[in-house]
Amino acid sequence: MSRIGKQEIAIPEGVKVTQSESSLGNVVTVVGPKGTLSKTFRDDITIIIIDGAINLNVKRNDKFSRSLWGTYASHIKNMIAGVQTPYQKKLILEGVGFKSEVKIDGQRKDFHFALGFSHPVIVAIPEGINATAEKNNITISGIDKELVGSFTAGIRALKKPEPYKGKGMRYDGEVIRRKQGKKTV
């Protein structure tokens, strides 16, 4: 039994959750004040929406289906929370000459980074993500928790913080464990 999966998920005021069948599985759509999210789930889990609550049940009692049970419940909870208040992640850029800015060219939004390479690094900002860059602080927000997290991790991977001087991109609140440099005699 999944402790998370068997719990009933409450649908708050102002949020509408609908479920439909497709050839790929169950499609759950969550509409809230901040936007709309839609996600397709496998048919291994039955999704029932009754009286302002969502219940998930396992169709087949095998290990794979039980492992998806709690995961799907968490995904639906994150979708409901995201359409109410957007998820936000912050990055801090540390290093001499490291810069970041958001450039808008028509419909396209890009991050332009100067990270100590011989060329500027340009990253396209995906649809559904709001990004701002002020000095050395980068703020990324959106209603889809998975998209915000993966996009932020991809940006951080461009220049991970190094342990000797701490230069690079780190999450706000992340502590970089520092190493001691070479010892001279």
Single residue among 57, 84, 111 that ends a domain in this structure: 84
Domain identity same for 41 and 93: no
How large is the average pLDDT for residues 73-88? 96
Mean pLDDT for the chain? Answer: 92
Single residue among 58, 84, 110 that ends a domain in this structure: 84
Domain identity same for 25 and 67: yes
The band of 35, judged by pLDDT with boundaries at 50, 70 and 90, is very high
Write the DSSP assignment of 94-161 as a string of letters: ESTT-EEEEEEETTEEEEEEE-SSSS-EEEEPPTT-EEEEETTEEEEEES-HHHHHHHHHHHHTTSPP
Separation CA 148–CA 158 (nearest Å): 16
Domain identity same for 93 and 80: no
Query: What global pTM score does this model have?
Result: 0.89
**What residues make up the domain containing 54?**
9-84
Say which residue, 5 or 93, is predicted with more confidence: 93
Domain identity same for 97 and 164: yes
Domain identity same for 96 and 162: yes
pLDDT at 55: 93
Give 100-146 pLDDT, tens digit per residue. 999 998 889 999 999 999 999 999 999 999 999 998 999 999 999 99
The band of 183, judged by pLDDT with boundaries at 50, 70 and 90, is confident
At residue 150, φ and ψ (nearest 5 deg) are -70, -35
How large is the average pLDDT for residues 15-31? 92
Domain identity same for 69 and 125: no
Residue at 50 is within a domain: yes
The band of 148, judged by pLDDT with boundaries at 50, 70 and 90, is very high
How large is the average pLDDT for residues 57-78? 91
pLDDT at 135: 86
Residue at 2 is within a domain: no
Q: CATH code at 27?
A: 3.90.930.12
**Domains identified in the chain, total number:** 2
Domain identity same for 108 and 166: yes
Separation CA 133–CA 92 (nearest Å): 10
Residue at 184 is within a domain: no
Residue at 41 is within a domain: yes
Please say if the pLDDT value at position 1 is more than 70.
Answer: no
Q: How many CA atoms lie within 13 A of 101 on its CB side?
A: 7
Single residue among 38, 68, 84 that ends a domain in this structure: 84
Domain identity same for 148 and 136: yes
Residue at 180 is within a domain: no
